[in-house]
Amino acid sequence: MRTDRVGARFFVPGPTAVRPAILREMVRPMIAHRSAEMRELLARVYVTLPSLFGTRRPVYVASGAATGMMESAIRCGSRERVLALVSGAFGERFARIAESCERSVTRLVAPAGKTVSAEALADALEHGAYDAVTAVHVETTTGVIADIGAYGRVVAAHDDVMLLVDAVSSVGGVEVAMDGAGMDVVLSASQKALALPPGLSFIACSERAMARAVTLPYRGVYLDVVRMDEYWRQGETAGTPAIPQLYALDAQLAAIGREGLVTRYARHAAMAGAVHEWVSEAARRGRGVGILASEELRAPTVTCLTIKGDAVRLVHLLRARGFEIGAGYGALAASTMRIGHMGDHTVREVRALLGALDYALGELEA
Amino acid sequence: MRTDRVGARFFVPGPTAVRPAILREMVRPMIAHRSAEMRELLARVYVTLPSLFGTRRPVYVASGAATGMMESAIRCGSRERVLALVSGAFGERFARIAESCERSVTRLVAPAGKTVSAEALADALEHGAYDAVTAVHVETTTGVIADIGAYGRVVAAHDDVMLLVDAVSSVGGVEVAMDGAGMDVVLSASQKALALPPGLSFIACSERAMARAVTLPYRGVYLDVVRMDEYWRQGETAGTPAIPQLYALDAQLAAIGREGLVTRYARHAAMAGAVHEWVSEAARRGRGVGILASEELRAPTVTCLTIKGDAVRLVHLLRARGFEIGAGYGALAASTMRIGHMGDHTVREVRALLGALDYALGELEA
């Protein structure tokens, strides 16, 4: 199958494919980062971005990767004792970052393909004194989506506990209801369901999170949300932003507005559905393939496939057919692979990938 | 005057003008950040970049702004007591970052247009117990260049004191002799004399700085040079890098190689010389213009001009003529303006700017 859409065969779960029209937005001359022109650009971004986070709070934009914003959430949103909900490598990264910032961390670890239940969270908060809970909305390494709303209701029953959420693989592809679900800090990045090149990351804080942040000493400077807020109030960014990605973000937010969030989220659900359907059908035909995530926990943006046989070789076989997907992550590298069906991909493109995957699985099993 | 070089009239001291050919490098499809293709790209960058820092040590590449790397230098390179050499706003930022990371900071502040002398540094180190000295090579806000070699000789006389250097506005435009001058940590960014868009920052550590880093607790994760080194050893970057800027960096390093560092540095000296000459001549003609930096301390990459009259209005008058320069910074905003004569600019382009500046000064004084 041929396609004229560059990136139509690129299904890595981040960085995701970027449409050529969006890439071309980056080829514009530099502008000063403290200029009127930049403030106009940022004004559009600052007005639009919160809808993707489901918040009326500001969303700050910074140059850098999401790991930096995870650290920002920890340094500015937690005090001493962190309860980390771990359902994959990024949940574990959140926990390690907290430890690296001198927080005492307790982990609740879900089995592979599961999330930590709201009941387990409630129980832990009942029996331990924590001031923050870290959670990952869509865990990119296992393809599970957590019920953040349920977490939010549990956390709301405890005074002075903040809910810090990694929404890296959800913002732009799945509804993120920051205000409605009681999230205190939500972070994301450009190179996932927003379908932009990497280089920008985002963070939003509830009023009470911001009130806590100002009381915390030694937050540093670069990842300090209080400083980000000061610049946001002036319509600027704290540091020199990745200007090409800002141009691209501006254009992409306009395109997302034209598509409509409801339609965009439905498209992601349909892409995930196409993958789930194909796996059931392939399994029925005896192909050695399954889905890691429990049925009720499958993310609309990324699927982690379990492979009977050499998953690493399967990724290479697909590459030979012109399709790029993600290898399994960490301990799951040998037995899983990941399809990022997010951003600007279409159901048709996903089906083309699945066709190629079927052939590649046949080659693997032959 | 007309020119076909986009950016030929953009003289902000960061972000600097980027050549269209380099901007076009960014319009390439995404690749996975853990792929063979990425490792090939990074291999070229990792081999070439150290020559611009004057080091045989690795130069790590990260997504983000230089402020993040300043914080990295502090968190990973200093223990408790920092001596901050301040000759402008970025020297002061280095000091504040150290304070924000729980370091006790003593400042040596030079008068505007001066740098802290090596004698003053020697005296301070003699009379106080410091474990790190922060210095700015080229101070972007005042246009002074510090004698880092002299600082290095002073610091070398003291055991266990690290020299941490902001080389943001020098790397790529002035010789930076990290190993030769005894610098322990050197940081820079993409959007200055490298003439790339913002989005990437760089940091290099001496062996003894790296040996200290591993002993320091709570360095965090995102700005941790030990983690950066682990990924560098695998030929990767710690986080997902700003891929478009990496494409551009790869092409720009090749172009810098073709130009040659000696030629490149000479071109920067010639651009600075053209500015200095014009200012002397304009002053002789009675134009109210001077140079903030003492004659022996003038940076080859940026000049801070003192203006008799409204400097802010002068920037606007120049903009009306199609030329963009930098306003004065902070306390110097009303009385100075800054020309970034760095990156891929030419002496001819600088002269065109100076011609326009002459007219604009005439308008200002009229």
Q: How far apart are CA B265 and CA A291, in angstroms?
A: 57
The predicted structure's pLDDT at residue A4? 53
Residue by residue, pLDDT tens for chain B (366 residues) are 344 577 889 999 999 999 999 999 999 999 998 899 999 999 999 999 999 999 999 999 999 999 999 999 999 999 999 999 999 999 999 999 999 999 999 999 999 999 999 999 999 999 999 999 999 999 999 999 999 999 999 999 999 999 999 999 999 999 999 999 999 999 999 999 999 999 999 999 999 999 999 999 999 999 999 999 999 999 999 999 999 999 999 999 999 999 999 999 999 999 999 999 999 999 999 999 999 999 999 999 999 999 999 999 999 999 999 999 999 998 899 999 999 999 999 999 999 999 999 999 999 988
> Of the candidates A114, A17, A13, which has an alpha carbon nearest to the alpha carbon of residue A346?
A17
**pLDDT, position A7:** 86
Closest CA in chain A for residue B247: A197
pLDDT in tens, chain A (366 residues): 344 577 889 999 999 999 999 999 999 999 998 899 999 999 999 999 999 999 999 999 999 999 999 999 999 999 999 999 999 999 999 999 999 999 999 999 999 999 999 999 999 999 999 999 999 999 999 999 999 999 999 999 999 999 999 999 999 999 999 999 999 999 999 999 999 999 999 999 999 999 999 999 999 999 999 999 999 999 999 999 999 999 999 999 999 999 999 999 999 999 999 999 999 999 999 999 999 999 999 999 999 999 999 999 999 999 999 999 999 998 899 999 999 999 999 999 999 999 999 999 999 988
In angstroms, the Cα distances linking B94 to A19, A24, A185, A228, A291 are: 39, 36, 27, 18, 49
Query: In chain B, what are the domain boundaries?
Result: 10-16+261-365, 20-257
CATH of A10-16+261-365, one of 3.40.50.1000, 3.90.1150.10, 3.30.1330.40, 3.60.10.10: 3.90.1150.10
Assigned token pair, B5: 């070089």
> If we measure between CA atoms, which residue out of B186, B151, B150 comes closest to residue B169?
B186
Q: What's the gap between Cα A315 and its chain centre?
A: 22
Write down the pLDDT at residue B7. 86
- The alpha-carbon gap from A308 to the nearest alpha carbon of chain B, in Å, equals 23
Inter-chain contact B33–A15, Cβ cutoff 8 Å? yes
Identify whether the C-beta of residue A216 lies closer than 8 Å to the C-beta of residue A76.
Answer: yes
Point out the residue among B23, B93, B243 whose CB comes nearest to the CB of A197. Answer: B243
Query: How far off is chain A from B22, nearest CA to CA, in Å?
Result: 9
Where would I find the H helices in chain A? 20-25, 36-53, 66-77, 89-100, 118-127, 148-156, 178-181, 207-213, 225-233, 243-259, 261-284, 311-320, 347-365
- Exposure string (b/e) for A271-289, b if CB count within 10 Å is 16 or more? bbebbeebbeebeeeebeb
Q: Could you count the other beta carbons within 10 Å of the beta carbon of residue A156?
A: 12
| Model pLDDT, residue A83 | 98
**Could A32 and B62 be called an inter-chain contact, meaning their C-beta atoms sit closer than 8 Å?**
no
Task: Tally A–B CB contacts below 8 A.
Answer: 203
Residues B129 and B107: their CA atoms lie apart, in Å, by 13
For residue B70, which residues of chain A lie inside 8 Å, CB to CB? 221-222
> For residue B191, which residues of chain A lie inside 8 Å, CB to CB?
30, 240
For A366, counting Cβ atoms within 10 Å of its Cβ (0-12 exposed, 13-18 middle, 19+ buried), the class is exposed
* B contacts of A62 (beta carbons < 8 Å): 64-65
Q: Among all residues of chain B, which has the CA nearest to that of A6?
A: B29
Beta carbons of A217 and B102 less than 8 Å apart: yes
| ipTM, two decimals | 0.96
Q: Smallest CA–CA separation between B204 and chain A, in Å?
A: 18
**Class of CATH domain B20-257:** alpha beta
The amino acid that residue B11 corresponds to is: F
Strand partners, B302: B340
